[in-house]
Chains A and B, each alone.
Chain A
Amino acid sequence: SQQGEEDPQALSIQEGENATMNCSYKTSINNLQWYRQNSGRGLVHLILIRSNEREKHSGRLRVTLDTSKKSSSLLITASRAADTASYFCATRPSTGGGNKLTFGTGTQLKVEL
């Protein structure tokens, strides 16, 4: 079963604009990760935020985590055409499950020139 749900399902913006996508999940987590998947290719790890962190930055990426609301957001600033991809959040449970990641349904981002 899918743990997380991303919102929106699809997002289309102009190059240079910011893109924000959200993830909601259901159970307690150890960490939450964001992955990017280009069309027809495997997933690439972008950023990880732990349950005791509220915000994290990596280059043009900013991730926030609100464990009280069981939600996270990914902000991509100054978007580029190369950012066009599907973005997935994935959660690791706080108890048990080894390193099992449960992925959300994804947000399809299209950045137009």
Chain B
Amino acid sequence: EAGVAQSPRYKIIEKRQSVAFWCNPISGHATLYWYQQILGQGPKLLIQFQNNGVVDDSQLPKDRFSAERLKGVDSTLKIQPAKLEDSAVYLCASSLRQGGDTQYFGPGTRLTVL
């Protein structure tokens, strides 16, 4: 079974630029999550999708971050414009269903904002 795929693995941009991350969850997984992990901290949930609907985006900085999962499969997370404090690893995870207890994580995208 293929795992959660993410791209790119690394991205370096300058502040005020835009960046987008892509995630392909495990086939058949209805729930998709985006997390931000700042160095030395645990992951923090940014947004959770159930199929193509948003379940929780309470910690998403909506003035600069946006995410979509148009067909209920792949998802894209965008930052526009980026700030220095956005430097982090962005992790995508999926679970079989909303109540599914185990989340499967992708390798992450390491973003550096200069």
Given contacts A41-B107, A42-B108, A99-B95, A48 and B44 within 8 Å (CB-CB):
no
Q: Which residues of A contact B42 (CB under 8 A)?
A: 2, 4, 88, 90, 103-106
Contact: B105 with A99, CB < 8 Å?
no
| Interface residue A43 (Cβ < 8 Å from any Cβ of B) | yes
A10-54 CB contact bits vs B (8 Å, 1 = yes)? Answer: 000000000000000000000101010000111111001000000
B48: Cβ under 8 A from any A Cβ: yes
* Residues from chain B with Cβ under 8 Å of A92 in the complex: 101
A99-B108 CB under 8 A given contacts A2-B42, A42-B4, A88-B42: no
In the bound assembly, the distance between CA atoms of A102 and B48 in angstroms comes to 13
Decide if B41 touches A2 in the complex (CB within 8 Å): yes
Interface of B with A (CB < 8 Å)?
A: 4, 31, 40-45, 48, 50, 55-56, 91, 93, 95, 98-108, 110
Closest B residue, CB atoms, query A48: B101
The residue from A41, A42, A100, A106 contacting B56, defined by CB atoms under 8 A apart: A100
Min CB distance A113 to B, Å, is: 26
Q: How far is the CA of A3 from the CA of B43 in the complex (A)?
A: 11
A-B Cβ contacts below 8 A, count:
62
- Cross-chain pairs A/B with CB under 8 angstroms, 17 sampled: A2-B42, A2-B44, A35-B105, A41-B107, A42-B91, A42-B108, A43-B105, A45-B102, A48-B102, A98-B48, A98-B55, A98-B56, A98-B99, A100-B56, A103-B44, A105-B40, A106-B41
| Residues on the B chain within 8 Å of A103, using CB | 42-44
* Bound form: Cα–Cα A106–B48 in Å: 22
Contact A101/B105 with A2-B42, A88-B42 known, Cβ cut-off 8 Å? no
Chain A interface residues (CB < 8 Å from chain B)? 2, 4, 31, 33, 35, 40-45, 48, 88, 90, 92, 97-106
| Docked CA distance A100–B56 (Å) | 8
Identify the closest chain B residue to A42 (Cβ).
Answer: B105
A45 close to B98 (CB less than 8 A)? no
Decide: A44 and B105 in contact? CB cutoff 8 A: yes
Closest to A99 in B: B98
Let me know if B41 and A100 touch, CB within 8 A: no
Cβ-closest 9 pairs across A and B: A103-B42, A42-B105, A43-B105, A42-B107, A45-B102, A103-B43, A98-B55, A88-B42, A104-B42
